[in-house]
């Protein structure tokens, strides 16, 4: 199996960015972005689809951490 070419990589990244934009605009509801999801799956190798899907949740988690900081679990909160 040969690696994607430069053009194939770019097509995949564009499809990914379109899907992510749609998910950002639709509160991550995949139902609203089916068209972009299937385009993404068509243009990227299956491994990359898995990788980018995991990467998106990681990036979202990271952004959340940076924006809100670490919040301790419910139980450890002190009553004042």
As a 3-state breakdown, the chain gives helix, strand, coil percent values, each rounded to 5, of 75, 0, 25
Task: Scan residues 12-31 and list those touching another protein (CB under 8 A).
Answer: 12-13
When the beta carbons of 23 and 44 are compared against another protein, the nearer one is 44
Q: 64 near 28, Cβ under 8 Å?
A: no
Q: Does 79 bind another protein (CB under 8 A)?
A: no
Among 31, 46, 68, 72, binds another protein (CB under 8 A): 46
Which of 40, 8, 47 is CA-nearest to residue 30?
A: 40
Residues at the interface with another protein (CB under 8 A): 1-6, 9, 12-13, 44-48, 50-52, 55
């Amino acid at each position: 199996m040969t690696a994607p070419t430069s053009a194939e990589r770019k097509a995949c990244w564009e499809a990914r960015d379109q899907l992510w934009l749609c998910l950002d605009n639709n509160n991550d509801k995949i139902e609203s972005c089916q068209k972009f999801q299937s385009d993404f799956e068509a243009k990227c190798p299956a491994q990359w689809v898995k990788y980018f899907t995991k990467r998106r949740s990681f990036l979202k988690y990271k952004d959340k951490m940076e924006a809100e900081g670490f919040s301790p679990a419910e139980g450890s909160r002190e009553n004042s």
